[in-house]
Amino acid sequence: MICVLVTAKNGQLGQCFQNLAPQYADIEFVFKTSSELDITNKAKIEGAFGSHSFDYCINCAAYTAVDKAEEAIELADKVNHIGAKLLAESCQKFNITLIHVSTDFVFDGKATVPYLEGDITNPLGVYGKTKLKGEQAILKTLKHYFIIRTSWLYSEYGNNFLKTMLRLAEQRDELGVVGDQVGSPTYAKDLAEAILQIIELKTTHYGIYHYSNEGEISWFDFAKEIFRLSGSSIKLNKIETKDYPTPAIRPKYSILNTDKISRLLSIKIPNWKVSLEKAYSNLLKQKV
């Protein structure tokens, strides 16, 4: 039996793991909320790790409010950097493999081809900088780790683009969505399944990996498909980034090259449209 600790169980990725857990009879899961396991508190981490014999820790805890992070610098660093560092140190002490979720925001978005794991990082804002510092702390501390960078995460849980678009479609007749930022949406449940497959493989191909759903689209394209699925009659207008200023600068190009995770770990990655349909269907089931 493989024993796995999952942090931040109430976040959208944490909830996806809880939803999938019954399908993995060979894995014993222990789920902790952010209050039950504060990853910025070394004593709390060591207490949790010492109470069980864990093989893996999946860190879903993160400060992800990209715009708020521009002012809440200390808090973002505490969770995204110091929290990752403390988890890594405790994983080293207790001989636990850390699986840490990171982001496309470690890149500046100036590329013209999908980002490889070894490409130069250059985050534009506080969120990306603190996530990168978290990655670097793990690299300095651990040999047994998986850092998985993902992009445009959404699901039927929590706050995300899918749910925001559906809410706005009920409130408005017209909406402008940015069409000059390109990326790959990632269904959080697909990411969770990929991570669980890595655990079941018991692979020693440790390192940094990229995972996002297949396909390159803009936020406008994403919204358009969401409204098509929902049958919404909202008028959708394509706007440019300059027309929708935000405190944090977003990468213009966020495509992650996922060849490594497919090749080394045999992870099959669905197309974004297929996954969006699944997510929307699951969201409708929740409302019944």
pLDDT-derived band at 51 (thresholds 50, 70, 90) equals confident
DSSP assignment, residue 101?
E
Residues involved in catalysis? 127
The pLDDT of 49-74, averaged and rounded, is 95
pLDDT-derived band at 285 (thresholds 50, 70, 90) equals confident
The pLDDT of 26-52, averaged and rounded, is 94
The residues pairing with 176 across neighbouring beta strands, listed in sequence order, are 237
Per residue in 222-267, pLDDT (tens digit) is: 999 999 999 999 999 999 999 888 999 999 999 999 999 999 999 9
What is the model's pLDDT at position 288?
A: 58
53 burial level (CB within 10 Å; 0-12, 13-18, 19+): exposed
| pLDDT(145) > 90 | yes
What is the model's pLDDT at position 183?
A: 96
| Cβ-based neighbours of 36, under 8 Å, separated by 6 or more | none
What is the model's pLDDT at position 286?
A: 80
Q: At what angle do helices 42-50 and 83-94 cross, to 10 degrees?
A: 30
Least confident span in 150-154, 270-274, 280-284: 280-284
Cα–Cα distance, 188 to 243 (Å, whole number): 29
DSSP assignment, residue 188?
H
| pLDDT(20) > 90 | yes
- CA-based angle 148:61:86, to the nearest 5? 90
Quick count: other Cβ atoms within 10 Å of Cβ 74? 10
- Decide: 189 and 157 in contact? Cβ < 8 Å: no
Cα–Cα distance, 126 to 13 (Å, whole number): 22
pTM over 0.85: yes
For all residues of the chain together, what is the average pLDDT? Answer: 96
**3-class secondary structure per residue, 143-193:** CCEEEEEECCEECCCCCCHHHHHHHHHHHCCEEEEECCCEECCEEHHHHHH
Cα–Cα distance, 77 to 127 (Å, whole number): 8
| pLDDT(191) > 90 | yes
**How many helices (H) and strands (E) are present in the chain, helices listed first?**
10, 12
What's CA 90's distance to the chain center, in Å?
Answer: 22
- Which of 33, 34, 139, 123 shows the shortest CA–CA distance to 88? 139
